A and B are shown apart, each in its own frame.
Chain A
Amino acid sequence: MDSLTMMPALPEIFLAVAGMALLMFGVFQGDKSRHWMTWAVVACLVIAGAAVPQLADGRSLAFGGLFITDPFAVFMKELVLIGAVLALIMATGFNEREKIARFEFPILVLYATVGMLLMISANDLIALYVGIELQSLCLYVLAAFRRDTGRSSEAGLKYFVLGALSSGMLLYGASLIYGFAGTTRFDGLAEVLAGNDISLGLIVGIVFLIAGLAFKVSAVPFHMWTPDVYEGAPTPVTAFFASAPKMAAMALFIRVMIEPLGEAATDWRQIIVFISIASMLLGAFAAIWQTNIKRLLAYSSIGHMGYALIGLAAGTEEGVRGILVYLAIYLPMVIGTFACVMCMRRQGRMVEGIEDLAGIARTNPGMALALAIFMFSMAGIPPLAGFFGKLYIFLPAIESGLYTLAVIGVLSSVVGAFYYLRIVKLMYFDEASEAFDRPMGRELSLILVVTGVFTLFFFVSPEPLVGNAAAAAAALFGG
């Protein structure tokens, strides 16, 4: 019997309780509280971010083994918290301008973040499911947050229906796994799988589980919701969708595949290889014809998840380190890009067409420079950060002999470079149209500078990040 301690889960408990307290303040103070609510939630997230590494003492279990913290969890939790804080800060000005600011917004982001932290720390199939549901339910509401416009409501409803479908598949898979293995605990599953023949039913269960998880990271063929939801949701919410939940879902994916199902790697590797190839190709080709920048970024995120999954297909410690580095680089890159999208405002109205970016190098040089940095980085051009992300992903794939996967990855990133560079060409070489509104707001400029500098100068000292990622990956395999 494991101990019922709850010390390792203290940051999550703190966040949940703080969320309830803030909710009470908000309810009694009314909508006036929305001005300080965002900053209160940001403060809570920062405190949690500071507490997470303090409480993690190697590998420790809580709540009778349902909850686990290890260096891998700490690394991913920090990424999630950073993503949530940046998205929240970006949202303040936007929500006020668009008149959708309400005090519940930061609270929902807070609870979504709690759900993500629980996903990362799940050590049991039921804990995995409740974490996913807590996260998803908040995200459905956030997608429909601009409830007076049809597109936002459509995005929320679509996300909800498809998310419920994916939850169903995930639960079906989990119940099959439980039925054939007799336990829902990850360590128990690993014991059952070790040294035994894996029955057909268990494999069917694993396939359904992968389908459910692939939906959450929006990998092909479970990507259909992504472009519509990204386009319909308010832009800061889209930025949040593209950053933090992706980190959490990917962390969960990695943990499930490596820890309990690691013994069955030969059975699931081909599935991951297929998902990865399909995501990369679709991300590269479908994005070419997009005219809306948010849809384009949706396809781009599908492609990026495909690249990240290459590391999982390799299934080695280096592969997981590659994914962690890739995600850590992807996070500031995508947040910065969305900060640029939020600067696209003319006469107080948001514009989202790619054509609207034409010639802004002359009218808004700072923003054009930042967006150019992010686009070059996403295309993977050295010496920007995105190049290193791809490097750490492709090397382990080649070491594990997945040559086809690596070759297709490189080729699709060449195709992908086309539409990233098209944006740069539009900004720098096309006829200038009307300038975007100024000033873009202090928070946005701050985020642009921070993420831009990180992306540009990552190559100067990649060691701390790569070292931490390596330690996190080692924890996953050593345990």
Chain B
Amino acid sequence: MIIQALAFYLFAAVAIASGVMVVSARNPVHSVLFLILAFFNAAALFVLMGAEFLAMVLVIVYVGAVAVLFLFVVMMLDINFVALRQGFQQYLPIGALIGLVLVAELVLVFGAWVVAPGAELAATDRIPAPDQISNAHAIGLVLYTKYAYLFQVAGLILLVAMIGAIVLTHRQRDNVKKQRISTQLGRRREDSVEVVKVRSGEGI
């Protein structure tokens, strides 16, 4: 038990510390690397809670895809981060003020935490205990039955995202030389080789 508590505090502390570093690191590449560290620690926290499926999804999707994409964007695009940061000092007070207001609101909201009396009955999806059934099994039981509709619509959204990306960025380029294998294979000797008798001393 104490090991679990220690692990929790370790992962939580590292997650928060790397979160701070994401916004304060000078080098944007370091920021992204700290972001990846934060994701890994969040995944570890999920594992501690018995949500191993979510933990793996977090690592695969966020670390494997999103963070690497960020890294590419940061390294490929020529963004002047010094210029972006110039207003930082100037906007710090108002940013801090908004942050304080949000924190105060959250405290107020969660201070008034009451579970509505009917809520227990209305909650239709009991989350099964993690020691009885594995995460992936439990999600699979509802994802393709009860939530098949949402699953399919999410698929449609991804299809639209793909169409959109092609519509907005794909260009038909002229005078690009493409390899045409059928033409290459269809070439005959007669089409491309001409035998010319050259008399010595005259040239062609």
Residue positions of A touching B, CB distance < 8 A: 4, 6, 9, 16, 20, 23, 62-64, 66-67, 102, 104, 107-108, 111, 114, 118, 126-127, 130-131, 133-134, 137-138, 140-141, 144-145, 147, 156, 176, 180-183, 185, 188-189, 191-194, 196, 199-202, 204
| In the assembled complex, B149 has its CB within 8 A of some CB on chain A | yes
Q: Is the beta-carbon distance between A147 and B168 smaller than 8 angstroms? A: yes
Given A156-B168, A180-B113, A181-B116, 9 more pairs with CB closer than 8 A: A4-B146, A20-B159, A62-B149, A64-B146, A102-B167, A134-B157, A147-B167, A183-B122, A201-B113
Total residues of chain B contacting the partner, CB 8 A: 34
Cα-based distance from A130 to B113 in the complex (angstroms): 28
Q: Is the beta-carbon distance between B160 and A185 smaller than 8 angstroms? A: no
Cβ contacts under 8 Å, A114 to chain B: 156
| In the assembled complex, B77 has its CB within 8 A of some CB on chain A | no
| In the assembled complex, B88 has its CB within 8 A of some CB on chain A | no
Across the interface, A180 reaches (CB within 8 A) one of B105, B116, B146, namely B116
Cβ contacts under 8 Å, B159 to chain A: 20, 111
Q: Is the beta-carbon distance between B112 and A118 smaller than 8 angstroms? A: no
Q: Is the beta-carbon distance between A126 and B150 smaller than 8 angstroms? A: yes
- Tell me the B34-71 residues at the A interface (CB within 8 Å): none
| In the assembled complex, B2 has its CB within 8 A of some CB on chain A | no
Q: Is the beta-carbon distance between A141 and B153 smaller than 8 angstroms? A: no
Residue positions of B touching A, CB distance < 8 A: 105, 108-110, 112-120, 122-124, 145-150, 153-154, 156-157, 159-161, 163-164, 166-168
Across the interface, B116 reaches (CB within 8 A) one of A6, A107, A108, A182, namely A182
Q: Is the beta-carbon distance between A141 and B167 smaller than 8 angstroms? A: yes
Cβ contacts under 8 Å, B114 to chain A: 180, 199, 201
Given that A104-B163, A108-B163 are contacting pairs, would A182 and B168 also be in contact in the complex, using a CB cutoff of 8 Å? no
> Closest residue to A131 on the B side, CB-wise?
B153
Across the interface, B105 reaches (CB within 8 A) one of A127, A194, A204, namely A204
Within the complex, what minimum Cβ distance (angstroms) separates A196 from chain B? 5
Q: Is the beta-carbon distance between A66 and B163 smaller than 8 angstroms? A: no
Cα-based distance from A67 to B168 in the complex (angstroms): 32
Within the complex, what minimum Cβ distance (angstroms) separates A60 from chain B? 14
Cβ contacts under 8 Å, A67 to chain B: 149
> Closest residue to B123 on the A side, CB-wise?
A182
Within the complex, what minimum Cβ distance (angstroms) separates B139 from chain A? 15
Cβ contacts under 8 Å, B167 to chain A: 102, 104, 108, 141, 145, 147
> Closest residue to B166 on the A side, CB-wise?
A104
Within the complex, what minimum Cβ distance (angstroms) separates A346 from chain B? 29
Q: Is the beta-carbon distance between A200 and B109 smaller than 8 angstroms? A: yes
Cα-based distance from A6 to B109 in the complex (angstroms): 39
Cβ contacts under 8 Å, A141 to chain B: 160, 163-164, 167-168
Across the interface, B124 reaches (CB within 8 A) one of A62, A140, A185, A192, namely A185
Cα-based distance from A103 to B175 in the complex (angstroms): 23
Q: Is the beta-carbon distance between B124 and A23 smaller than 8 angstroms? A: no
> Closest residue to A148 on the B side, CB-wise?
B171
Within the complex, what minimum Cβ distance (angstroms) separates B101 from chain A? 13
Given that A127-B150, A137-B157, A140-B164 are contacting pairs, would A182 and B115 also be in contact in the complex, using a CB cutoff of 8 Å? yes
By Cβ-Cβ distance, the 7 closest A-B pairs, closest first, are: A182-B119, A141-B164, A63-B149, A200-B112, A183-B122, A182-B123, A188-B122
Cα-based distance from A107 to B117 in the complex (angstroms): 47
Q: Is the beta-carbon distance between B148 and A107 smaller than 8 angstroms? A: no
Q: Is the beta-carbon distance between B150 and A196 smaller than 8 angstroms? A: no
Within the complex, what minimum Cβ distance (angstroms) separates A72 from chain B? 20
Cβ contacts under 8 Å, B110 to chain A: 201
Given that A131-B153, A141-B163, A182-B119 are contacting pairs, would A176 and B168 also be in contact in the complex, using a CB cutoff of 8 Å? no
Across the interface, B157 reaches (CB within 8 A) one of A126, A133, A188, A189, namely A133
